Amino acid sequence: MEQTEWDDLFRSLGRTRDLVTAWTPEPPNPAATRCEHSRHRTLAHLRACQEQWMDVVDGFLSREKPSITILHPWRKFDQGAYAELSWETHLEKFLTDRERWLRWQDTADRTRSGKMNRKDFTVGDLASRLANHESYHVELVNI
């Protein structure tokens, strides 16, 4: 991954942060079954993905070639009862974690690698996965 691509990913992460911050808060919607049915559910899903992949990046940066097993973000969403938590709870955690992600632009080695759920990834791969995944979801709720 070239420096320009890395920088583009972090611009995307910053844009998503700004878009999410501008959303009108919504209470949990028990009828929403998918992200596109509710901004609340989308925010909760974005939070779960960011948390899971951040844990993996932490592992990659802290030791050589780790093998890390995580729950799928939807499982974390379900186990943490994210559908029922308040907008404010999700937004606060999302923003706190996002600032941590954004600091990695200048401090993280994007080539550091390891395994996530037995598949090879780099820090750059995970930043790309997060940015692209979020862009998809944000586009759906902004239509």
Task: Quote the pTM value.
Answer: 0.90
Domains parsed from the chain with CATH numbers: 3-23+33-141 (1.20.120.450)
For residue 59, the model assigns a pLDDT of 97
List the beta strands (DSSP E) in 2-141: 67-68, 113-116, 119-122
For residue 74, the model assigns a pLDDT of 87
pLDDT digits (tens, 9 = 90+) for 62-86: 999 999 999 998 899 889 999 899 9
pLDDT digits (tens, 9 = 90+) for 115-127: 999 999 999 999 9
C-alpha atoms less than 13 angstroms from C-alpha of 73 in its C-beta half-sphere: 21
Give pLDDT < 50 ranges for the chain: 143
